[in-house]
Each structure stands twice: as structure tokens, then as C-alpha cells.
Amino acid sequence: GLVDAHTHPVWAGDRVHEFAMKLAGASYMEIHQAGGGIHFTVEHTRKASEDELFTSFQQRLERMLRAGSTLVECKSGYGLNLETELKMLRVIERAKKSMDIGISSTYCGAHAVPKGKTATEATDDIINNHLPKLKELKLSGEIHVNNIDVFCEKGVFDLESTRRILQAGKDIGLQMNFHGDELHPMKSAELGAELGAQAISHLEEVTDEGIVAMARAKCAAVLLPTTAYMLRLKQPQARKMLEEGVIVALGSDFNPNAYCFSMPMVMHLACVNMKMSMNEALAAATINAAYALGKSDTHGSLEVGKQGDLLIINSSRWEHLIYQFGGHEALINYVIVKGKVIYENERCETVSSY
């Protein structure tokens, strides 16, 4: 089964209108500063009820499942206040309990600086109010969060704020798995390696020193080819990372900015745009993505003693999963989680094998 190591799937308020702005040349930060981007989605997510969010989240997870994802990392982060962040995490918890797909949940309250606050004030609020509440809910068994995430970026959370939030999350038992070095070189990779982060995502602007530090620290790089493609950013240096011995994983970065559910399409983009081989892309979307979530002992490969998550495809060669760009809808025949068929694709019965 494929593992999607980075998604933002709980939100209301899509940003289809911003796509035209991006195509006309507006940058991510220009849209963000004009009140669009994350802030637009935050406004809509705050207004949505828990049931509304759960219904759309469930539908998105089902689409991911049909595209072959059997384990998905799911972030909060469109609340930016304690009440809405908890609402999002409760929605993720409900899906964990009611759906067959595997979920690794991430608290991403430091996704942007809330309107009316400075980065320092937002950092203090997260450390003094959000994280103690998460610890309390964990102890009572209401919400179990796996990872902590921060958007370490110029104009968002600087290196020192990021360090403080990640350390506070680590202190309550969360794995550090954060956004770094996306739009500007921030030395996020060096920070993650120093703190013992499990994974860092994006890394389009990572330094050579950062790559070496991540390799030494066995900190996974979660590369997001959809984001570089959509925002026309320079591609992450997948080849250099692989040559230096970094554990390279892939994620769809599904969110209102990069609306892609399909890890087969992500693997295809990784091969074409980031110059990965098909074998490297498959490893990055299975065992390495499981490692990025701290789950490679149970997920990510077919081995005795691991969870029986697998796909059966309507083809004589597995490479068709990557080769057919957007072709997974008539290619993935069965999705199996824990040895149980949870999706059977009737389209495959009408199409002879590829």
C-alpha cells in the first residue's frame, strides 16, 4: 500500500479562485499577504461545524484510498486558534476510529501567524495554551496526536520560534515533522537534524550543509513534487539528497493550494521533475514515507510481522502505476488493509490487463 507522508485534508473553503491568480504570476506570499492562502481557508474552517468538516474529510480519504494510499499523514493547521485546531484534531480522531485507512495525525497550529498576533505571541500561545491542552486530552484518551509541525519560513515562524515550538512538542512526546526551507533557505534542515526531527518537508531551498546534516541524523526528507509544480518553484534536489544518503520520502501535500489525492501521480512527477528512478519513487512512497511517520516497523513493505496493506493492480508490471499519469482509476484493482479487501474497483473487470 502507498504511504502519503504529508497532507492537509481537513478544511472548508477551497481556493480555486486563487489558481487563476497564480497562473497570472502572483506568488504564494503575495496571495498570503493579500489575505488569501492559508488565511482564507482558516476563516472558512473556523465557521464550519465539526460534522461538515468530517464529511468532506471522509470523502477525501476515500479518494486517497482509491488511489492506493493505505496510510496517510493528516495535519490540522487551518484553525490557528485553540478551539478550531482541537475541532480539526477531533475530526481526524473520528476518522482514525471509523475508517479502515491508516492515519498519522499531526498538530500544525504553527501553520501561519494568526491575524492580530506577532510570531512571538503566536509561539507563546502554542507553548503555554495549545500544547498543555493536547497533553491533557492525550492523557484522558480523547485525542492521540502523533506529530508536531511548524511552518518555518521567512515572514511566518523564524528559526528560534520554530525551535521553541518543536522542543515543547517533543517534551510532551510528539515526533517532530515540520515544513522547512521551502521559499527561503532558513537552515531548517540543520535545526531538524540537531533536534532529532523524524522528518522535514519541502526543502526546495535546503543548503548543502543541511542535506549532509539530515543524512547523518537519519532525518527523512519529505519531498512534495505537486507543490513545486503548482507554485513553479525550483524542484527539491532529490538526486543530491539520495547521493548523500538522505532517506527520501514523498507526500501529495493535498491542500487547497495543491489539490492532488494521488500518490501514483506524485511518483510520476518525482520521476519526471525530480529525476528519481521508478524504484526510488516507489520506495519513497512506501517504506521511506512510513519511516518519515515513525511507522516503518509496521508499515511500508510486505514482510512477516508487518501490517498486510497492499494493492493489486490490473497490469503485468508494477511500473504502470507510475507510467500511467493519472491512470490509477482503471488500474488499481484491489486495496487491502490489514489483510482485508476494503476497495474493489469494478472498472478493472471491464478493462483487459495493461
Full-model pTM: 0.97
Residue type at position 66? R
Residue at grid coordinates 492523557: 139
**pLDDT recorded at residue 326:** 92
Percent of the chain scoring above 70 in pLDDT? 99
pLDDT tens-place string over residues 215-225: 999 999 999 99
HSE-up of residue 12 (Cα within 13 Å, Cβ side): 18
> What is the C-alpha separation between 15 and 70, in angstroms, rounded?
27
Instruction: Please indicate whether residue 39 or residue 125 has the higher confidence score (pLDDT).
Output: 125
Q: String of b and e for 317-353 (b: at least 16 CB within 10 Å)? A: eeebbbbbeebbeebbbebbbeeeebbebeebeeeee
Fold adopted by 2-306: TIM Barrel (3.20.20)
Q: Read off the pLDDT of each residue in 162-177 and give the average, rounded to a whole number.
A: 98
- 2 with 70: CB under 8 angstroms? yes
**pLDDT recorded at residue 354:** 59
Say if residue 351's pLDDT is above 90.
no
Say if residue 350's pLDDT is above 80.
no
**pLDDT recorded at residue 33:** 82
**pLDDT recorded at residue 353:** 66
Q: Read off the pLDDT of each residue in 46-56 and give the average, rounded to a whole number.
A: 98
Mean pLDDT of the chain: 96
- 275 with 269: CB under 8 angstroms? no
**pLDDT recorded at residue 347:** 86
Tell me the three cell numbers of residue 200: 522535514
